[in-house]
Amino acid sequence: MFRKKSLIILFVLMWFSRPLMAQDEDALPTVDDETETAVQSHTNEMRVMKNYKLGDGLNLISRNAQIQFNQSIQVLYGVNTPDDLSSYNSEYRIRRARLNIAGLLFSDKLFFRLRLNLAGNYQSTTTGSRSFNNVVQDALIEYRPKQGQRINFGVRADYTDTREIRIEGESLGFVERSIVSDAFDAIFDYGIRYAGQYSLGNGGVLKPYLAFTTGDGTASLQKNFTGFKYGVRLDYLPFGTFSKGGEFFMDDVVKERTPKLVIGGVFSYNNGISSAKGTNGGRYIYGDSTQKILRPSLTKSGVDYMFKYRGFYSLGDFVITHTSVPNNIYGEFSTSGNFTPYTGQTPEQIKNTVTSRINLGSGLNLQAGYMLGKYSIAGRYSHLQQDEQSADFATVNKAYSLIATRYFSGHNLKLNVETGYQQFNKAITTESHNGTIYLQTMLTVQF
């Protein structure tokens, strides 16, 4: 019933509202007049776009296609110490090393994107421990039937996460996203989504988003383990769209000449959560006495905003999660498929076991910054509240950050220096150790 209603709403929005040109999260560089003329004159040739600037990537353009190849790398050095300064740890890390291939095929109605993070989870710490894995972050095809209308299918960052997730890692104003995003955002998921943009006639803009995904994250590329995730986001921009895609960048690098504001509400329902927040699906699968699969659900809701004006920006997120656990769970399946009964446990104990594996609680993130020429300064406060029965995701339940950034060529070449304090929750604090002080610096280059 939910799926039928969602589809009806989607098509009503598509065909009976007044669309605008979408403020493009997936914009390709504008073809200049010289290249456009060459393309029109040589319909069977593919030309390289001229007048390269840092971040433009390699652009191949013909009458029937435009394909862009981008690379980015973020190199990080960090050091942290307990607040009693008794010791320290440090690391060098390749935070991101991405290859992005995106383009338009045959017309401006068919878009595609493939992105790999070639240094996913690679790090070299003072202990010498290392890990490496290739990560597919985006693999999607998008159909754009009308201006301001998009339907995409595949893997991408989800619309139903916090506003921080709407901003790419290379375009953040901090080295990392907040502890709130880390606790509740699944980020990448596989499914079908709709994004729209409509004028309200008074200068305001409404942006609805619908998502029907696996709820298992990129683990679903191998198998959809349990259930599906249904999500909706509704963004309202009372003063119109941001300049030059500013809604999808953190600092106000373009220095908006008039106030710009987006206020959003988001809701998602995962009817078969099998990991802590929907990132690594298939980790926990339950069954009844006949070994029929049973699924706990996860509901996530939140509100967020972003404001920009003359170099100042402010962003905020609030998130809260709840779960519903079937009352006839009898045991769980291992990753190999073997079933283990919860022998001797009461229904209440079984429920506590299930909820202890899901991130349940709430989070608040507030941050603001200001551009001074090609420099920016910003501060952030984040707070997590963990439910009594929940996975242990709030070891750090308060975080304070201060960052300075030097922009050499926008977000295509910049240097961040960030310091902060992460406060432990009361359950693990000691008389001499209440948290961690850290300092980190990161260089970002996009080709």
* Count of positions (residues) in the chain: 447
pLDDT digits (tens, 9 = 90+) for 107-123: 889 999 999 988 755 44
Can you give the residue ranges of every domain in the chain? 2-446
* Confidence (pLDDT) at 48: 61
Q: For the chain, what percent of residues have pLDDT higher than 70?
A: 84
Does residue 436 sit in helix, strand or coil?
Answer: strand
Contact 365, 182 (CB under 8 A): no
Is pLDDT above 90 for 41?
no
Q: Which of 7-16, 31-40, 314-323, 339-348: highest mean pLDDT?
A: 314-323
* Tens digits of residue pLDDT in 427-447: 888 877 899 999 999 999 999
Tokens of 257: 């000449």
Measure Cα distances from 135 to 12, 73, 96 in Å.
Answer: 36, 15, 11
Chain CA centroid to CA 88, Å: 31
Res. 60: pLDDT tops 70: yes
Which CATH architecture is the domain 2-446 placed in? Beta Barrel (2.40)
pLDDT in the model for residue 28? 57
Q: Is residue 236 scored above 70 in pLDDT?
A: yes
Residues above pLDDT 90, as percent of the chain: 65
Averaged pLDDT for residues 274-280:
86
* 154 backbone φψ class: left, alpha, beta (φ>0; ψ -120 to 50): left
Give the mean model confidence (pLDDT) for residues 88-108: 91
pLDDT at 23: 43
Q: Are the CB atoms for 158 and 251 separated by under 8 Å?
A: no
DSSP E strand boundaries for 259-355: 260-270, 285-287, 293-294, 297-309, 312-324, 331-333, 339-341
Cα–Cα distance for residue pair 282/310, rounded to 1 Å = 47
User: According to the model, what pLDDT value does residue 130 have?
Assistant: 35
Q: What is the pLDDT of residue 424?
A: 92
**Residue 283 binned pLDDT confidence (cut-offs 50, 70, 90):** confident
Between 292 and 433, the higher pLDDT residue: 292
For 61-76, how does the pLDDT look when each residue is reduced to its tens digit (9 = 90+)? 888 889 999 999 999 9
CA atoms within 13 A on the CB side of 241: 16
Looking at this protein, which amino acid is placed at residue 240?
G
Band (pLDDT 50/70/90 cuts) for residue 254 is very high
Q: Are 370 and 165 in contact (CB under 8 A)?
A: no
pLDDT in tens, 129-178: 334 345 788 999 999 999 899 999 999 999 999 999 999 999 999 999 99
In which residue are the tokens 């939140």 written? 302
Structural tokens at position 229: 């995730």
Select the more confidently predicted residue: 315 or 224: 315
Higher pLDDT, 170 or 13: 170
pLDDT at 27: 62
Residue 1: its pLDDT value, please? 46
Q: What is the pLDDT of residues 351-409, one digit of tens each?
A: 999 999 999 999 999 999 999 999 999 999 999 999 999 999 888 999 999 999 999 99
> How far is CA 112 from its chain centroid?
19
Q: Who wins on pLDDT, 30 or 366?
A: 366
Give the pLDDT of residue 62.
86
Tell me, what's the pLDDT at 56? 86
Any idea which of 26-30, 230-234, 269-273, 368-372 has the lowest mean pLDDT? 26-30
Cβ neighbours of 44 (radius 10 Å): 7
pLDDT greater at residue 419 or residue 105: 419
